[in-house]
Amino acid sequence: MAWCAARALHMPALDITALRSKTPLAVGVGCASVAGTTLCRSSSTSKRQIPFASLSISTDASIKEAVKTDKAPAALGPYSQAIKANNLLFVSGVLGLNPETGKFVSDDIEGQTEQVLKNMGEILKAGGAGYSSVVKTTIMLADLKDFKKVNEIYGKYFPSPAPARSTYQVAALPLDAKVEIECIATL
């Protein structure tokens, strides 16, 4: 018997007929988790066990905690500077803004990149982490031709082994920034 709700989520169906024991199975998919087990009918006759599956999405706010510091620019919209969850720190995209003025520290890529990484450092510190605990970064550039300049500055902040990273050129960034960087760190 395939799990029908999986189709609504555009996921491959989960064949739970293989779950013949009473041992629970948990499978995580993004923010959702699928838990399956078999339930027995209470009957004197020997009938086939009926599989059971449920979809659970946690809305418990106690499993995540917002991180906020005045030493980095405030979020520009309805989001947090960072979120702590499951011993991880998820830092939102950071721009090269001066935290006191809300203005870019520079119009050039070097100045903005340096400030982005300083701001990120303050958010990491407020969340109980540091550059050495960053495991993944995503860099968004207004112009991919700035890749080499950004790399030179970026390399000064992250000790070896450097975090996993993705870099993209994007159509536009908030406030016409030249660079935005987000990261995930372990706690």
pLDDT digits (tens, 9 = 90+) for 125-139: 999 999 999 999 999
Per the listing, tokens 């029908």 go with 4
Q: How high is the mean pLDDT of the chain?
A: 80
pLDDT of residue 113: 98
Higher pLDDT, 159 or 155: 155
Question: Could you give the CA distance from residue 48 to residue 37 in angstroms, rounded to a whole number?
Answer: 14
CATH topology of domain 64-186: 60s Ribosomal Protein L30; Chain: A; (3.30.1330)
Question: Could you give the CA distance from residue 73 to residue 99 in angstroms, rounded to a whole number?
Answer: 4
Question: Could you give the CA distance from residue 84 to residue 95 in angstroms, rounded to a whole number?
Answer: 20
7 band by pLDDT with thresholds 50, 70 and 90? very low
Beta bridge mates, 102 = none
Question: Could you give the CA distance from residue 19 to residue 154 in angstroms, rounded to a whole number?
Answer: 48
Report which listed range, 3-17, 18-32, 164-178, is most confident.
164-178
Contact 161/135 with Cβ under 8 angstroms?
no
152 band by pLDDT with thresholds 50, 70 and 90? very high
Q: Which two tokens stand for residue 110?
A: 């070097």
| Tens of pLDDT, residues 19-39 | 444 444 444 444 444 444 343
Q: Where are the domains of the chain?
A: 64-186
pLDDT at 99 over 60: yes
Contact 35/56 with Cβ under 8 angstroms?
yes
Find the distance separating the first CA and the last CA of the chain, reported in whole Å. 41
